[in-house]
Amino acid sequence: MHTLSFKQPLWIGLSIILFFALVLSACGPASSPAASSGTSTPAGSQEPVSQSIPPTPAEIPAVTQLEYTSQDFGFSLSYPQGYEVQRTFVQTINFLAPQDTPGERWRGWLEVERGLDQDAAWYADQAKQDNASLGSQVTSQISSSTSVIDGQQVYILERMPGQDLSRQVFIVYAGLLYHLTFLPDDPQMGAAYQQMETLYTAVINSLHFLPERELVPPVTSINNMVYQLERALETRSADDIMRLLDEEFSLANGMPNTPESVTFARYGRYAAAQLILEQYLSQAPDLTLEKQVDWTSLLGDPFPFFRFFPDEVITPILVKGWGPQGTDEAVMIIAHRSDGSLYWRDLFVTQGSFAP
């Protein structure tokens, strides 16, 4: 009996010690899990980092990028996560900074345009010429450079004047112009400029052209439109002329500075092209198309054609070398659609010169 009563308290005491040892081991620090290779935690779900201990470079997540692919016009590119891509028109996509950005969020856009035989250098040169009228002090700040993207020659114009300074990139692939604009290209704009640079780097480093495309884009720049009109007329190509017309074309006779004398005749696309070739062009046309015209000196009115198209956006182009003998003048009216595309809408013709 004495032996039994001695062993029982000893067994109880050992059990109590073992219990507390197990409790204390459970409260100790757990071993860290092994890092998973090839994965990263999304930035939004990371734990807060102490301000007193800055993270090492390995702990800073890379900027995640999203992909945008256009089967319509045969390209793909990447842009930073958080930015938005909006397709406003069939040939245009816009890049917007993240939604929490104060103020204006536009950081760039890409417009695809139907070309002919022009290369990227031609488009870049035309853009520089358009800015020449702003004065040498303004245009002298423009810097240009070349690069290669996906095997294609690229021309880059930086600090282009406008509402904001912009960086413009011109690439021609398979007869199409891919024209990228990024803004503001001005370091003094602070955070907006940094957002532009982030977008620019992502897009330029990822732009890739696909082997096929499903659509042909319209013509959207006046310089390109004028060039294609000149080529179509001088080569007397009915197909190329029709490609630049809308469904209906009007022919005006009379002096535009005397509206009561002007008469209009309307034609379908095919009939208009044939009429132009048969009655209004020589067999070997040598035309000069002028965008910058002093209409006041020529016709006594700075806007002589706008009264005929009061609700439309138009650009008049003076043509020299017109007519069967190549001795007349004409004025082409280029109309602007709401989506930014252009078409040859109207033609004013006269015998000889418009000048009195």
pTM of the model: 0.79
Model confidence band, residue 187 (pLDDT cutoffs 50, 70, 90):
very high
For residue 208, CA distances in Å to 76, 143, 150, 171, 273 come to: 5, 25, 6, 11, 38
133 secondary structure, DSSP code: T
DSSP at 46: P
Q: What is the pLDDT of residues 210-241, one digit of tens each?
A: 999 999 999 999 999 999 999 999 999 999 99
pLDDT, average across residues 341-355: 92
- Averaged pLDDT, 336-343: 95
Q: Check residue 131 and give its pLDDT.
A: 81
| Section 4-15 average pLDDT | 39
**Same fold yes or no, 64-209 and 222-349:** no
pLDDT of residue 126: 94
Query: Do 309 and 317 meet the contact criterion of CB atoms below 8 Å apart?
Result: no
Angle between helices 222-234 and 120-132 (to 10 degrees): 120
d(CA 245, CA 229): 10
pLDDT digits (tens, 9 = 90+) for 198-209: 999 999 999 999
DSSP 8-state code for residue 316: E
Cα–Cα distance between 349 and 101 in angstroms, integer? 53
Please give the mean pLDDT across all residues of the chain: 84
Gap between the Cα atoms of 230 and 224, Å rounded: 10
Q: Which residues contact 80 (CB under 8 A, 6 or more apart)?
A: 63, 64, 65, 66, 198, 199, 202
pLDDT surpasses 70 at 306: yes
CA distances from 206 to 121, 149, 247, 260 (A): 21, 9, 39, 57
Question: Is the confidence at residue 35, as pLDDT, over 50?
Answer: no
pLDDT at 11 over 70: no
Please answer whether residues 354 and 255 qualify as being in contact, where contact means their C-beta atoms are separated by less than 8 angstroms: yes
Name which of 43-52, 169-178, 251-260 the model is least confident about. 43-52
| Average pLDDT for 258-286 | 95
Compute the distance between CA of residue 267 and CA of residue 117 in angstroms, rounded to an integer: 29
> Residue 73: pLDDT band by 50, 70, 90 thresholds?
very high
Would you list the domain boundaries of the chain? Answer: 64-209, 222-349
What's the one-letter identity of residue 338?
A: S
At the topology level, CATH places domain 222-349 in: Nuclear Transport Factor 2; Chain: A, (3.10.450)
Mean pLDDT of 24-34: 38
**pLDDT digit string (tens) for 139-178?**
568 899 999 999 999 999 999 998 899 999 999 999 999 9
Query: At residue 315, what is the residue type?
Result: T
R_g over Cα of the chain: 34
CA dist 283 and 229 (Å) reads 16
Q: Which fold has domain 64-209?
A: Protein Transport Mog1p; Chain A (3.40.1000)
Q: Confidence class of residue 38 from pLDDT cuts 50, 70 and 90?
A: very low
What per-residue confidence (pLDDT) applies to 99? 95
- Which residues does 178 contact at the CB level (< 8 Å), separation at least 6? 75, 110, 112, 169, 170, 171, 172, 207
For residue 351, what pLDDT is reported?
83
Q: Which conformational region is residue 296 in: left (phi greater than 0), alpha (psi within -120 to 50 degrees), or beta? A: alpha
Q: Specify the 3-state DSSP secondary structure of 295.
A: helix
Task: Assign 269 a pLDDT band (cuts: 50, 70, 90).
Answer: very high
